[in-house]
Each structure stands twice: as C-alpha cells, then as structure tokens.
Amino acid sequence: MENKQKIVIAEVGRHLGESVTFGCWLTRRRSSGKIQFLQLRDGTGYIQGVLVKEEVPEQVWEEASRLTQESSLYITGVVREDPRSPSGFELSVTGVEVIQVTQDYPITPKEHGVDFLMDNRHLWLRAPRQRAILKIRAQIISAVQSFFDERGFTLVDPPILTPSSAEGTTELFHIKYFDEDAYLTQSGQLYMEAAAMALGKVYSFGPTFRAEKSKTRRHLIEFWMIEPEMAFVDHEENLRVQEQFVSHVVGEVLKNCRPELETLGRDIAALERVKPPFPRITYDQAIDMLKELGMELPWGEDFGAPHETALAEKFDRPMFITHYPTGIKAFYMKPDPNRPEVVLCADMIAPEGYGEIIGGSQRIDDPELMEQRFKEHDLSSEAYQWYMDLRRYGTVPHSGFGLGLERTVAWICGLDHVRETIPFPRMLYRLYP
Amino acid sequence: MENKQKIVIAEVGRHLGESVTFGCWLTRRRSSGKIQFLQLRDGTGYIQGVLVKEEVPEQVWEEASRLTQESSLYITGVVREDPRSPSGFELSVTGVEVIQVTQDYPITPKEHGVDFLMDNRHLWLRAPRQRAILKIRAQIISAVQSFFDERGFTLVDPPILTPSSAEGTTELFHIKYFDEDAYLTQSGQLYMEAAAMALGKVYSFGPTFRAEKSKTRRHLIEFWMIEPEMAFVDHEENLRVQEQFVSHVVGEVLKNCRPELETLGRDIAALERVKPPFPRITYDQAIDMLKELGMELPWGEDFGAPHETALAEKFDRPMFITHYPTGIKAFYMKPDPNRPEVVLCADMIAPEGYGEIIGGSQRIDDPELMEQRFKEHDLSSEAYQWYMDLRRYGTVPHSGFGLGLERTVAWICGLDHVRETIPFPRMLYRLYP
Ligand SMILES: [Mg+2]
Ligand SMILES: [Mg+2]
C-alpha cells in the first residue's frame, strides 16, 4: 500500500476522481453475483465501496467476497460523487487487501439485550449510534472549553483524592492512602473557590464519584463535571453566564454535529430553541405551580425528578428555579440578604424531562456566617481550615456552578438512559469492561 | 459601584483615559506620606494604583491607608499609559471601597519553608510564580486539545474505576466498589485502543494514580495523562505525531505565555529550539553512548533517570530512544518484525534533565501473539477478554502514546520539582489541603 494515497474517509471529498487507499472495517456486504456493495467505516466516517465483477481482477473480487462483518482491510478505489449516499460519495473499488477476516462478531444486526451490549461495550462503541453519541460528547466538551477559554477563564484541575468531604461521607468511596484515609471527590467546588481567589475566573473539567446504591436512568457512579467559579461575580451574573454557556454548547453541537444528531433521530427544533434568556421561577413560584398541577408539596421540601419534569414541561427551553430554602441546600450558599430563609442559588432544569443539569449559587463570603455554618453542619474545623481561610484572607463576593456532563449529553442527544453517554459507564452492578 | 464600568485588569488597555472599577486584592502598599502606590491583582493581571494625597478626597486616602497584604477591595480610577510598568499601564486612583482588611496573611514576602507553603497551598496559589505556572499548565492543556481536535482526533474519557490492571496491582489504589474490588486507573490506554477501533483516532485527558512509596522530585501520586491512540498508524508515524505534538504545545506556550515564562525566569531560547524532527537513537546506540560516558549497563537493563539525563544532555531538544528490549517493556508492545528481541516503541526524553515525558509504541495486532503474551504475563484471561476481542474482531495495526502532563509542565516552566505543577499536589505525605 506504500505508493497509494493514504487518507481517511472523512477526507474523501477532497479526492474526487482520484485513486485513494484507506484502512477500514466492513460493516455490511451485499452481493448480486455481478456486483458487490461494501459498507465501510474507519471511525472518521462511512462510505460505500462498489465492485463490478467484470471490471476488477478475479483476485480482488474473491478477496472482497471473503469479507464478513467487522473484518479489517485496506481498500483502494476511485472516489465518485453519489448524491444518493449520506456522505455524498462512493468508492469504485479497484483493490482489496484483507487484514483479518472476522469470525462470529458478537454484535449482529439483530436486537441484543442491554446487559449483553454493556458486556460488549468495547465493541458496541463501533455502532453508528454509539459513535454518534461519543462524537457529540466530545463536541460538548470542546464547546465547554472554547466558551470559557474565550472569556478569560483558566482551566484548573482540582484533586480527585481528598482528605474529607464537606457533605457527609456515606456516599463517598473510601481509599487507604498509605497511612491516611482518603475519599474520591464528589465535587471540586471548594478547591475551585481557592483557585478563583488566585486566578479570578476558573473552571474545572474532571471525573467525580458518588457511591450511591441507586439504579435509575439518571445515575452513574463515575461521572464528569464542569465546575466554573468566579470571583467578584454575584447571583445575577452567575445566571447570565450559565444561560450563555448552555446556549453556546447547544449551538456548537447544532453547528458541527448535524449528521450525528440525525443518526440519533434527535428533534433539532427543540435544540434550536435553546437561546438566552432562560425562564426563571423562584422556589416559591414553583411550589405554587406544582399545587396547580396537583403535586402539592410543603414549603421547605426539595423537589424530586417528577416535580422537576412537571415544571420543565411548562417551558420550551432550559429554565432556572431560584431561591431554594436555605435548609435544603449546601452549607456554603449565600442567604438572600432580604430574606435569609432562602439562598441565592439556582438549579437549571433541562427541557423534555431530562431534569437538573446545573446547580449553582453565590457563595457565603462573610467569615462569621461561614464559621456559624461550620458549627451547624458539624464540619471538623481542622479539615476545613483551608476553606475558612478563603473568608479570612481577602474574602470577596463570588459565585459558581456545576454542570453534569452526562446528563447534558443525554439531553442534547435525546437519550433514554445515561449509560450510553460515557464510553465505559460505571453503575451499581457494572464495572466491566 | 453600580454605575461604574466594571472590568478586569487584563482589559485595562481597552480603557485608556477612562474611569474604570474593578474588584481586586492588594499585594503590596508603599507610601511616601504624600503619595501611595498600591500593587493590585485580580487573577487576570497586575496593575499599580497611584494616589496623590492632594488630589483625592481625604476619605479615599484613609481607606487606601488601611489596606494590608491580601485585603480585598473595589477600586476606581483612570487608566494611564506607563511605559515603566510591566503591563504598560497604571491607575490614577479616585475611589477605594474596602471589602475586607486582611489580618496576618500567612504568606509574607519573607522566605517560607516548602512544608509551610504546601500546607497553605490554597493561599500559595495567589503568588505570581504559582499563578504563572497554573496559567502555563492551562495553556498546555488547551494546546493539547487544539492539536488533536484540528487533526480529527476525538476526545474519549476512559474510566477511572477499573476492575483490574494489566500491569500488576502492587502500585494500585484499591477501592471497595459495592461487592466488587476496583482499582484507580494507572493508564487509560487499553480502553483507548477499544475507542480507536470505533473512532479511528482518539485521545484522552484525565487523572491517573500510582500508589508508589517514592518521594522524588519527579513523582506525584495523582497525575494527569494525555493518551492518544491511532488506528492504522505504525511506529514511524507515531513518532512523527509525537514530535509535531510536543512542538505545537511548546510553540503555543511561547506564543501566549511570554509574561508567565518571564515571571518564572525561564530560558526562552531552550524552548525555541523545540522543533521537529527530534533526534532518534535506538536503545542499542544509547547503551553505547552510556558506555562512552562511563555509565556501562548490560544489554537488557532499563535506564534510570541518571541515564536518561546523561543521554538527553547530548541533544538540544527532546529526543527519542527507540527499540527497547522486549523484556523490559509492556506486554502489549509489538516486536520489531526484523528483530523480535526489541519492540517498536519509543520514550521521549525532555532536555535539561527533565527525563521521560512520553512513552509510546505500536501495539501487538496479531491475536496469537497477544494470547501468548497473556499467558507469559499471567493475565487472567477473563478480566481481559474484552482487550483480546480487539485482536479477534477486525484487528488492525495501531499505535499510541502517553504524555505525563506534570513532567511536561515542569520542563516547559523550568521547575525543580513537580509539586508546583498541579494545583493541589498529592504526594506520599501530602493529602491536604
Ligand atoms: Mg435538585
Ligand atoms: Mg523509561
């Protein structure tokens, strides 16, 4: 293959009328006896190769005839335009060099159960639908980075191994760290607050862990979070950043992943409505709306997924629920100065039943109030001295939020279950492969 | 502060002659009695504020006089050009609103011991040197992403929690994963191989862990790796990608982080020489060179840091050592077909004594040889069936490599120790903050 032009399928459009060679896998072969159609993939794209028996050497025809599903090969041919094909091109095959004839590929075109597919996740990734999700996931991550990098944020990696957790240890994975006890991080936020005092505006992108014995279509044990934190930014500006951020991410997917959205059969119009400003309701208004919907809830109780879904159905794009009761939110959230029984926080609820994708708030900046919260929440003051220091030494108003990547991928892709949103999902009974 | 133009210090150049307001911290104050100089930082940059007693209201002068190191404030003033200042600008202060007067900031301009600074890492990050390192780290990560994204690679996140390890469990952190045993990943490579068969060219960026009881200036317990994997790419092309990749990363830092490199006193000329092609020597040649240097080593032994440093000193840019003995390299590396006692691998050694920053190889694609390696290395075939599947079902030639982020940051920044290369380092006796 040395003297042929070696390309990838994504580039065939630049080689119209030329002879090209590329490595690929066969996804499907059909033959009429006089003509063979080879469906080919190389990870960058898909193309159909066509062999006409009378026009190719006997040996090339025979080689092609041996190809089974997921066989690997180098193929040579001339790139032709083909308006009927999704890519717009097809390949008039002139040469086939088989690398491996695959026997009994486990994932056949027939239906398979989810457990079987999960056991074969390393192969299932090759399916067009799974590839499309992974491409969109990567585009979402890239859009996260471009949004923050263009706005002067600095990427900061908070630690994964932490000495303790601010929010209880029951849902934490424990690790023996030489002679000490460590836990896998649930959130990098506290560390990001320290970083914001050094760098102004920062964001993280990394894995987080929750040892939760729940098995729902929204829960993963290992999931990725994006956690921005901004010095000198208040609750109002925090919400503006969030709606611009999510709109940017959706916009980039719409711009760059149209074929993948089509592979998934995603409702494009629903995504095109994701533009700022996003509707905002307070917790109090949400309680009233739920009552009207026959889902009465006493003031002070948290919403579950059904409440969030019912509220989100009233709106055509992501929406904010703000000003939750202080008692049901994290210890570090700043009370509303006009009404300290609620905090300057917001959850962003995705439309179409996908639930909360962002939680955020302005943080407490007052050292005395923070000391009080430490006592109320029984946070061992030694382990959190460093966090208290952020209020002792040059405290400033600051805000931040956390976006759950997998729930965002599920929403943007329109998936029923988060298990398909990450290459190798970790769930309650799923640690393999 | 509502009616003032609220900006960040990085943007002052766009507001020459205008009155601006921003939130910031004081790093240092000097006063002659008639004039005060305020050194200010906000994370985005540095600027000097100047107050002339006769020109400002008494109250503004008094407020400024209260400011101590790391006090937080909003400041208002007119942006002036100042060719003597590193930023090119200074601020004629007209207003000061103190947020907090900081008492006894622990990190004073005097020298502090490393343990003390590490205990106060959450505050130490505010120092110009630490901020410069974090900015360069973020630029390196951004350059990694732009390099791969522009070349058709897809970002894939391999799992952090894994059921077992291909390379022994002695240096792994163990986790009780409900009723199963899990380990923190040491490398995502095997998973990236599966992803490459689905997406062609992929790369990862994520944390990895090594429970190693060593305490050297090159070791962290928790460190970040970039692991590209490429289908239909051989050893030669793998090396070309690596030298282009590292040159791109260094070039982006040189282009965008000049002030930070100057803060660190980095030798810029040494970085400017980082251009492809990189010198290549084989393991055999390296053995000969070491002999000439009086560091004789029997064929088949691995190099340590002193050997790598001695070899790297012969070259003015990163260099490759290729074709190591099969016995001292990972089980998945492809033997040289002409000489099976060595593998198609390379380590990239950074110049200036920074040691190995990349390890990579072409991978075994032959299913029989892989089965043989499984037996030789006593890899429980059940746990690795999925990895074996990659050779059973459409095996193809493929190659990849892993770059250690923190060693790369140490080299590009010119640091003595990796502990400063990551926001919150995890080391043998260091889990706090
Ligand atoms: Mg909620
Ligand atoms: Mg080595």
- What's the CA gap between B263 and A314, in Å, rounded? 53
Asked whether residue B335 is domain-assigned, the answer is yes
Predicted local confidence at residue A215, as pLDDT = 82
Q: Is A237 on the interface with B (CB under 8 A)?
A: no
- The answer to whether the CB atoms of B431 and A175 lie below 8 A apart is no
**Same-domain pairing of A204 and A65:** no
The boundaries of the domain holding residue A55 are: 9-100
Q: Is B213 on the interface with A (CB under 8 A)?
A: yes
pLDDT digits (tens, 9 = 90+) for A61-92: 999 999 999 999 999 999 999 999 888 999 99
Predicted local confidence at residue A2, as pLDDT = 45
Asked whether residue B107 is domain-assigned, the answer is no
Q: Is A209 on the interface with B (CB under 8 A)?
A: yes
pLDDT band for position A4 (cuts 50, 70, 90) = low
Domain boundary among A68, A100, A132: A100
In our burial notation (b when 16+ CB lie closer than 10 A, e otherwise), range B88-105 reads ebbbebbbbeebbebeeb
- What's the CA gap between A156 and B409, in Å, rounded? 13
pLDDT at residue B335 greater than cutoff 70: yes
The DSSP symbol for A85 reads S
Asked whether residue A1 is domain-assigned, the answer is no
**Same-domain pairing of A156 and A225:** yes
Which residues in chain B (62-121) have CB-CB distances under 8 A to chain A?
70-72, 99-100, 102-103, 105-106, 120-121
CA distances, A331 to each of A361, A371, A379 (Å): 11, 11, 10
Q: Is A134 on the interface with B (CB under 8 A)?
A: yes
- The answer to whether the CB atoms of A393 and B105 lie below 8 A apart is yes
Find the length of chain B: 433
**Same-domain pairing of A192 and A240:** yes
Q: Is B123 on the interface with A (CB under 8 A)?
A: yes
- How close is the Cα of A347 to the center of ligand 1, in Å? 6
Predicted local confidence at residue A431, as pLDDT = 93
pLDDT digits (tens, 9 = 90+) for A296-305: 999 999 999 9
pLDDT at residue A1 greater than cutoff 50: no
- The answer to whether the CB atoms of B432 and A152 lie below 8 A apart is no
Chain B residue with the nearest C-alpha to that of A425: B159
Give the closest-approach CA distance of B185 to chain A in angstroms.
12
pLDDT digits (tens, 9 = 90+) for B361-400: 999 999 999 999 999 988 877 888 999 999 999 999 999 9
- How close is the Cα of B348 to the center of ligand 2, in Å? 9
pLDDT at residue B167 greater than cutoff 90: no
End-to-end Cα separation, chain A, in angstroms: 35
pLDDT digits (tens, 9 = 90+) for A315-339: 999 999 999 999 999 999 999 999 9
Predicted local confidence at residue B217, as pLDDT = 87
User: What is the rounded average pLDDT of the residues B33-44?
Assistant: 97
**Same-domain pairing of B224 and B351:** yes
Least confident of A157-166, A352-361, B307-316, B329-338: A157-166
DSSP tally for chain B: helices H, then strands E: 13, 18
Q: Which of B53, B118, B121, B41 is nearest to B86 (CA)?
A: B41
- How close is the Cα of A314 to the center of ligand 1, in Å? 17
Least confident of A12-21, A56-65, A379-388: A379-388
- What's the CA gap between B286 and A213, in Å, rounded? 54
- How close is the Cα of B384 to the center of ligand 2, in Å? 25
User: To the nearest whole number, what is the mean pLDDT of chain A?
Assistant: 95
- What's the CA gap between B410 and B416, in Å, rounded? 7
Tell me: cis bond preceding B425? Omega within 30 of 0 counts: no
- The answer to whether the CB atoms of A125 and B422 lie below 8 A apart is no
- How close is the Cα of B154 to the center of ligand 1, in Å? 32
| ipTM value for the complex | 0.97
Q: Which residues of A touch B176 (CB under 8 A)?
A: 173-174
Q: Which residues of B touch A140 (CB under 8 A)?
A: none
Chain B residue with the nearest C-alpha to that of A193: B122
Asked whether residue A428 is domain-assigned, the answer is no
**Same-domain pairing of A35 and A175:** no
The enclosing domain of B310 has a CATH number of 3.30.930.10
CA quadruple A118, A119, A121, A124: dihedral positive or negative? Answer: negative
Count of A-B CB contacts under 8 Å: 263
Asked whether residue A430 is domain-assigned, the answer is no
In sequence order, which residues have a C-beta less than 8 Å from that of residue A188 and are 6 or more positions away?
A158, A159, A204, A206, A208, A225, A227
Q: Which of B370, B79, B394, B80 is nearest to A72 (CA)?
A: B394
- What's the CA gap between B62 and A67, in Å, rounded? 84
In sequence order, which residues have a C-beta less than 8 Å from that of residue A71 and are 6 or more positions away?
A25, A26, A98, A99, A100, A101, A102, B394
CB burial class (10 A; 0-12, 13-18, 19+) of residue B34? exposed
Specify the number of domains making up chain A. Answer: 2
Predicted local confidence at residue B4, as pLDDT = 63
pLDDT band for position B166 (cuts 50, 70, 90) = low
Domain boundary among A70, A100, A130: A100
- H or E element at residue B243: helix B235-256
User: What is the rounded average pLDDT of the residues A121-136?
Assistant: 98
pLDDT digits (tens, 9 = 90+) for B180-226: 999 999 999 999 999 999 999 999 999 999 999 888 888 899 999 99
- How close is the Cα of A360 to the center of ligand 1, in Å? 10
pLDDT band for position B42 (cuts 50, 70, 90) = very high
- The answer to whether the CB atoms of A198 and B131 lie below 8 A apart is yes
- The answer to whether the CB atoms of B395 and A99 lie below 8 A apart is yes
Which residues in chain A (171-190) have CB-CB distances under 8 A to chain B?
173-178, 180, 182, 184
Q: Which residues of B touch A184 (CB under 8 A)?
A: 175
- What's the CA gap between A12 and A18, in Å, rounded? 9
Asked whether residue A235 is domain-assigned, the answer is yes
Predicted local confidence at residue B216, as pLDDT = 85
pLDDT digits (tens, 9 = 90+) for B242-290: 999 999 999 999 999 999 999 999 999 999 999 999 999 999 999 999 9
- The answer to whether the CB atoms of A105 and B393 lie below 8 A apart is yes
pLDDT at residue B1 greater than cutoff 60: no
- What's the CA gap between B422 and A107, in Å, rounded? 43
Q: Is B431 on the interface with A (CB under 8 A)?
A: yes
**Same-domain pairing of A236 and A363:** yes
pLDDT digits (tens, 9 = 90+) for B14-36: 999 999 999 999 999 999 999 99
User: What is the rounded average pLDDT of the residues A103-123?
Assistant: 96
**Same-domain pairing of B93 and B171:** no
**Same-domain pairing of B285 and B222:** yes
Asked whether residue B135 is domain-assigned, the answer is yes
The enclosing domain of A67 has a CATH number of 2.40.50.140
**Same-domain pairing of A185 and A82:** no
pLDDT band for position A257 (cuts 50, 70, 90) = very high
Q: Is B395 on the interface with A (CB under 8 A)?
A: yes
Q: Which ligand is nearest to the CA of B355?
A: 2
**Same-domain pairing of B169 and B240:** yes
**Same-domain pairing of A92 and A224:** no
Q: Tell me if A29 sits within 8 A of A49, measured CB to CB.
A: no
Predicted local confidence at residue B93, as pLDDT = 98
Predicted local confidence at residue B164, as pLDDT = 78
Q: Which of B29, B23, B38 is nearest to A365 (CA)?
A: B23
CA distances, B414 to each of A68, A240, B276, B421, B423 (Å): 54, 39, 21, 10, 17
Q: 3-state class of B344 per DSSP?
A: coil
Predicted local confidence at residue A201, as pLDDT = 98
**Same-domain pairing of A232 and A273:** yes
Q: Which ligand is nearest to the CA of B303?
A: 2
High-pLDDT (> 90) share of chain B, %? 92
- How close is the Cα of A324 to the center of ligand 1, in Å? 10
Domain boundary among A100, A133, A152: A100
Residue type, B115: D
Predicted local confidence at residue A378, as pLDDT = 85
Q: Which residues of B touch A429 (CB under 8 A)?
A: 178
Predicted local confidence at residue A164, as pLDDT = 78
Q: Which residues of A touch B2 (CB under 8 A)?
A: none
User: What is the rounded average pLDDT of the residues B84-98?
Assistant: 94
Q: Which residues of B touch A177 (CB under 8 A)?
A: 173, 221, 431
Asked whether residue A219 is domain-assigned, the answer is yes
pLDDT band for position A46 (cuts 50, 70, 90) = very high
Predicted local confidence at residue A423, as pLDDT = 98
User: What is the rounded average pLDDT of the residues A130-157?
Assistant: 98
Q: Which residues of A touch B162 (CB under 8 A)?
A: 431
